[in-house]
Each structure stands twice: as structure tokens, then as C-alpha cells.
Structure 1
């Protein structure tokens, strides 16, 4: 194949400013350089290293049942500790793929369908969410065609205080926003990436099951898949393994909570767990959860406004055609105040690729291009 183009989706961190002087990771690595794969991966990281603009990073690969993780740079700037397979990163919007699987499973348990309207699960004070005579349903909420905005208009993210603003964004504020009843497009017609919609999905799951989003995901999705390092909140021991997040080389606050938008991006995970998750997505278990995961990977939106013919939208996932159109990839990335991760699945090649950074400057063109180029080169190597 010629090239495997992976688009960088606009995710929660993309409101942040640019970095003028890129950071180069410290010359530290866990790569043993013993196998040809080790050497090839290292060569690609070195090729892009000066433009990746990060303090530290990991590359995780799962192919045909075998996994490898390579760490570069530092967990904490100047600390000389290299991130490894069990270093925690904020995974941002990759959370949405978990939310979608959990929602599909819950709908199945309730005897509801993806075409069921979400309105009965909202407070009665919220007017019917509809436009053009079409009412928002669960499928539209999960595939970014609901018409709900990228972020709620009453969430005031500030350049240096986004962590606090998100943590304060309560269920009451989300419902207050929804009471305005305004959609940007007729549901099902237009692709508009929506943290609001997937955050609302998480809130519905929590309310209907009388728990919080993190606990619901842990018991219904993460633990059944053996993902014991993927969670909303870390224990004291786990916090020791949490990387620092950085923006422009400066340490930033962690996103401990996204309030009522937890379903859009609150999870943190390790490269080891993300590889396990990716492998489970390629080979879903024969369980209700596995059935829900399979359903979430089916294309539900294409040829819609704002979508190119190279991209289709599943539930929580994006399906991308490779540039030569010989294959497709399932993809999601995630960005927070100081982290950026990519999760790429190639079902045909039985391949999972994970790349995690503990630095992020959303909107930085050079950074985005370098990280996308590294993803593409790694896919070319592995495919």
C-alpha cells in the first residue's frame, strides 16, 4: 500500500494554544533494540522526534497475539524516569468508545434500540430535543449527528484553568444548557463532533443506574474485559505511576473530572491496558458486552454533511479508509490539557497501534502533523 492516512480528530483539548518552540524528549528509552521490529520502531521515532513536542511518550503494538511497548523521554520533566507499559496517561476522547459500548449494552438490557429517543431519559423540564421534525435518538447521540454542540455554551473553558472548569461542570449545568433546546442541525444529517452528546450519554448511564460514570464503566466494561488499569479515578498507588501532563513544556493540572461530561473523556489508562482493549475490540468476547462492542464498530453515518468519502462514523468510533482504499481502520484519539493518545485498529491485519504522549498543545499544526506522520509511518511498517 502507498500510505495510511490517519486524521487528527478535534477533541477536548483542541481549544488550547500553540507552542512556538517544540520540546524534544530526553534521550532516554526502554527500547531494547534487540529485534528488527525494535530497531524499525526506534528509527521511526527518531525520524520524527524533534517535532513531536513532548516530554515523554509510549508506542504500543499488538499484532497476531504478540504485544510490544516502547517508552521514550520522561514521565516527569527532568525526572529521568521513562514511561512504560504501566504508566498512566489521560486518554481523553478515547473514553467515547467505552461510553458507546456501555450504552449499547445498556440499551440491549432495557429492550431498547438505537433508534429509541433519548427524551424519556432526560428531566421533564427539558423540551423535546428536535429539529426539522426529527427527535434525537441514541444512535445520533453516539455517532456525532445529534446536532448537539461540540461543547455546551455554558462551559467556560479558560486557557490555564480548563481542569477546574470541567470539574465544576455539574449535571445541573448540563441540563440547564439542554433546557434551551437548541440543536445546530437536524439530527442524523450532519456530522458535528460533540463532547456534549457523549458526555450526556455518560450522564444518562449514571442516572439510570444510580451510580457515577466511572463506577459504571468499571463494573460493566473495564473489569469484564480484564482492564484493571483503565478507570476514572486512580488509587494512591496508581497515582505514583501517573505521568505528568505538559503544555509547552510546562506541567499542567490533571483532568481529575469532567463533571457531567465524564462520558466524553474522563478515563485514564496504560499502554498495556489499551493494547488489551484494542485486542478485545478486534476479537470481542461472546458475551452481551462483546455483542455491544461489535455493534459499536458498525458504520452508522456516511455521506453526511462535514464527512469526506474517506470517513464513516460508527458508535464512538471513526472508520477511515486507507489512502489507496485497500483497507479500513477504526480510529479514535484523545486530548486533554496535557495528554494526547491515539488508538488505531486494523481488523484485516489483526493489528492494534497505541501512541501516547504526556504533552499536548491542541491546535499546534506542526505538532499535529508530526504525530500524524509517525502514526502513518508506524502503520506502514506494521501493515
Structure 2
């Protein structure tokens, strides 16, 4: 089976959960942390190994654990992991440092930092500012246009992308809205920022990291291209236990996701962000944590998550073979680091374990273990599907197993785990069944940061046309729908489309799929609106991941 899509994993996801945590009574010990990690990781079908730390004032708890204890030698204190998009927070600190030195401002146009003559898109005369780049509201697409032609190997997709390719891609881009008005996670914009910071500082990005960030914080083994003595690079893996290639970036583009670091390096990074020691980079670390955006709440490349009445800074990262999670809880003076030698992007990343370590009131989750799929599910999934922009997909059941085939490609087998996901053994991907409100099944295909919705092709007719609704008809659904304490879904009409936004998260578009039914396929969300006796919209049901949340319309 061929790979559908490549890309650096985004570090954001829709989180439909909340909690009311309690303060930690005592510092976490190594043994306590090990027990928590083992509850989530032991015997997990991914075979992952993880280096985990909880950083508190005066103490650090550490553990190195593997799903299979026989793999314990894969990682240790001298092991450097790819931290993926957590690198973006480090690029933000370097920008904040330039601001502290009077060499930059968040209100500077991005174009001022690029070579003369570089074509940078604008919208009706409104330019992209640096503040738009560090809040993912620049309007630039997720990936540069020249990347697809530059990438020689989908397993290492950024390796052949040059600075010239990146700048030329700016000339190809157009903005659909004014910068600052829409959130769209963009690795493209982050690579441009990395290049711009290095250019303004007058040195390559790795040298700048080492001089201004790594050295002051004592991150002795962190690097991009040039590993220090005494460090070994971990081998990455896919969630189906296969070894994965390392991802490489042109040095000046590495702020998007190219940093490698040991657990102790990241502990020192968290300690610096918590202000446990005053260094030359402390003012920049603090500036980078200041809130500068509300849709969704963000500091400079830090996501701001509401947790039990507090605001926690966090970022996740994922490459082809690694996952990472870092959080900074300024109120509790506490941080969390998770580094994994296996990418968990397609199975929800490290958020479950990470957020539980941030606050134990949040669910930990459990290991994914191989299982036999229910016969009824196999029967319900079998059929023909459309999955734009890719060809038709066939699902078949045989001997108690599911098989898939993309038109023009070979059939492939899919294993099943007790979390309810199917996964191919030949590539890193997930097939997640989606049961709709009417009982019919579709599925999501998730691979390398891409999420694709598949809808069944009827045996006796083509797909039914989505209803066309006027703005007045769409406005009938607008309102706020409380789903849980301190958690609501706001539905509004903008630019002729219905859109929704969960508390503390980014807005996402909804597509009409039937009478009073809308879908956000990228999140596996279906909204079914309910009407009262007068025919007015009175409530909604949110279907996601086999669960239903209901809320009245306010």
C-alpha cells in the first residue's frame, strides 16, 4: 500500500474533556512516576519506549520505560530523541531574545526579515506580521508548495527542501483571509520564521540555539545536525513497531521540528521556563510565555490550555518515528516532559499520558493491545468508500479480519486493537470506524498528520447531495451549547458557512450532511441538532469517537 500523505505532525487536537484537579500534596518520586507510566505503556501494541520526567521546585522525578521490558536498552540518559514541533517553542524563545535585544518586534512584517525581492503574500494590503506566525494565524498553508517536488523520500519528507524552495513557495501562496483572523497550524510558516530568525541574528539556526539557549540552560547534549560527544541518537519507530528513518531539515529551517535532545536537556529547558534559575535567556523565556492570541489562546508558539482553573503552557511534537510532550504549569511551578522513540501521532499523540501527569483528574488512558474485531463491525464496515482526494477504497472481511484496497494498488491487511482502531502493518496509519447517528458506518484514515474522511458509496445510488442552506437557515443553528461544566460549543455563521468552536480551542468549519446534521470530518465529529415543538433548534448532540455529548441551546 502506498503512503497517502506526508507532513510534520501538528501539535494541536480537539480536546472534548475537562477536569477539576487537586493540588499535589508532595513531590513526585521516581517510583510513583514509573508506576503511572507503566499503567499507560506496559504491553502496549506500539512497543514504544519513553523517557519521562516531572519537574518540580527542587526535585525531578525521572523514569525510562518500554512497553516490552526486553527493549529497555533502546533508551537511557544518553539518548537524544527527535522532539518534533516542541522545537517551535525554542524558535519562539530565540525570537523573543531578538525582541529583548531591540532587534525585532512582534508587529514587524515577516517580509522585513527575508531577502529583498522575496514575494510574501498579503490580504487586501494587510501583511503577515511576526505575531501571526507564532500564533498560527498567518494564513499560510500547512506545507510549502515546493515541498512535494523537493521531497525525495516520503519517509524523510523535509530532507530535500532547501531555503530557495521555501522562499519560492511564498510566491506561490495566496491568503484567503486577513492575517490574524483564522487559526491554521502551519509548518510552512514556522520554517519561514526559523529562517528569518537566523537571518536577522546573523548566524545559522543551530549555532544560535547553542549560543543563546542551550548553553545558558546547560542543555549540553541538545543539537540539530552536530551531535555533541557522549550522546547517541535514538532509533525511531512507527506505531506498528517498524523502525523509522530520522527526519532531517536544512539547518536554518530546523525551528519547525529539527531539534534532538536528551531527557535531561528537556528537564533543564522546563526548569528554565519555570524560572528556577536566572540566566541570560530568562527574560526571553518569560516573554515567549506571554499570552498574545485568543483564538485559540496562545503565547509565542505555546498552546495555553485551561486545566482545573489554571492556564498551562504546552506543546506536543511528532516526527516519523518520535513523539514528544512538554508542559509548563507556572501556577504550580511544575513541568512535564515525555520523549518517545515511537510516533503516536496517528493514535492521539501523548496527550492522554501528558495531561494526566499535568493533573491527575484527567484520564490516563490504558495500553492499546491487539484484539479480534467484532464480527458485526467487520460486516458493517465492508463495502466501497469515497475518500477525497484519493481514489475509491474497498474494505472486505475474510477469515475474521479486515482487508483494504485502494483502486490501482495491492490489497493490504489490517490488524485491530482494543481501542477500536484498525491499522495496517505495512505503513504507519490508522483506520478509525465512525458510526453515524443513523447507524451507518464510515471511517477516518489518519496518516502522518493527515486526516481523511471516507464515506460509503451506496449500492444502488450515488452519494446524496449535501443540502444547500442559506445564511438565514444556517443562523437558526447559531448559539452556545454547554456540553460539560465549564465547556461549551459555540456555533456561528461566518463567510456563508457554519462554524463551531469549543471552549479554549480553535474554530473549525462544519459541512451539512443531512437534515439538521453537520460534520467536521477532520475531527470525526458529527453534530445533530434537535428541534422543539415549535420547530426551533433547541439542543444538539455531538458524536465523536463513539461517545455522545448533549447540550441545550443558549
Which interval holds the TM-score relative to the shorter structure? 0.7 to 0.9
Counterparts of 1:157 and 1:227 in 2: how far apart (Å)? 36
Tell me, yes or no, if the aligned pair for 1:162 and 1:337 is still in contact at 8 Å.
no
Q: Which whole-Å CA distance do the structure 1 matches of 2:330 and 2:118 have between them? A: 41
1:129: how far off? 2.9
The SS at the match of 1:68 is strand
1:56 aligns with 2:49: yes
Q: Distance in 2 between matches of 1:125 and 1:221?
A: 31
2:332 counterpart of 1:336:
no
Give runs of aligned pairs for residues 81-160 of structure 1, distance below 5 A: 81=73, 83-156=75-148
CA 1:337 to 1:159, structure 2 compared with 1: closer, same or farther past 3 Å?
A: farther
Give distance in 2, aligned partners of 1:120 and 1:160. Answer: 31
Measure the CA separation in 2 of the matches of 1:60 and 1:199: 29
- Residue 378 of structure 1 and its aligned partner are, at CA, apart by 2.1
Secondary structure class of the residue paired with 1:85: coil
- Structure 2 residue runs of 5 or longer lacking an equivalent are 1-6, 12-26, 363-554
Give the Cα–Cα distance (whole angstroms) in 2 for the partners of residues 225 and 382 of structure 1: 32
Count residues with an aligned counterpart: 340
Aligned pair partner of 1:242 in 223, 226, 233: 233
C-alpha displacement of 1:340 = 0.2
Q: Is the 8 A contact 1:169 1:261 kept in 2?
A: no
Q: Which residue of 2 aligns with 1:321?
A: 306
CA displacement at 1:58 relative to structure 2: 1.2
Q: For residues 263-296 of structure 1, give each alpha carbon's deviation from its aligned partner in whole angstroms, at most 9, with x where no partner exists.
A: 1111000111111110100107656632121111
Deviations 1:228-287 (A, max 9, x none): 122112437445x22110112111111232565311111000111111110100107656
Of the two structures, which has the highest relative contact order with CA contacts closer than 8 Å and spacing of 6 or more? 1
2:275 aligned with 1:296, yes or no?
Answer: no
In the other structure, the counterpart of 2:16 is: none
Runs of 5+ unmatched residues, structure 1: 1-10, 16-34
Residues in 1 aligned to 2:196 and 2:288: alpha-carbon distance in whole angstroms: 18
Structure holding more strand per residue: 2
Secondary structure class of the residue paired with 2:261: strand
Kept after mapping to 1: 8 A contact 2:79/2:233? yes
Task: Report what 1:44 is aligned to.
Answer: 36
Q: Establish whether residue 65 from structure 1 lines up as the match of residue 65 from structure 2.
A: no
Distance change in 2, residues 1:283/1:63 (3 Å): same
Partner Cα separation in structure 1 for residue 196 and residue 28 of structure 2 = 48
Distance 1:52 1:349, change over 3 A: farther
User: In structure 2, what is the Cα distance between the partners aligned to 1:125 and 1:38?
Assistant: 55
Pairing 1:345–2:336 present: no
The residue number in structure 2 matching 1:364 is: 347
For the 8 Å contact 1:340–1:358, the answer to whether it is kept is yes
Secondary structure at 1:320 match in 2: strand
Residue 166 of structure 1 is matched in structure 2 by: 158
Larger radius of gyration: 2
Using structure 1 for the length normalisation, give the TM-score.
0.80
Distance 1:260 1:111 in 2: 18
Range moving further from structure 2, 141-150 or 106-115: 106-115
C-alpha distance in 2 between matches for 1:158 and 1:177 = 11
Which residue matches 2:424? Answer: none
Conserved 8 A contact 1:125-1:179: no
Going from structure 1 to structure 2, the CA distance change for 1:52 and 1:350 (only over 3 Å counts) comes to: farther
Contact 2:150 2:160 in 1 (8 A): no
CA RMSD of aligned residues (A): 3.0
Scaled by the length of structure 2, what TM-score is found? 0.56
Question: Do 1:59 and 1:71's aligned partners in 2 also have CA atoms closer than 8 Å?
Answer: yes
Native 8 Å contact 1:329 1:345 kept in 2: yes
In structure 2, how many angstroms separate the alpha carbons of the residues matched to 1:235 and 1:53?
Answer: 28
Correspondence for 1:12 among 8, 16, 23: 8
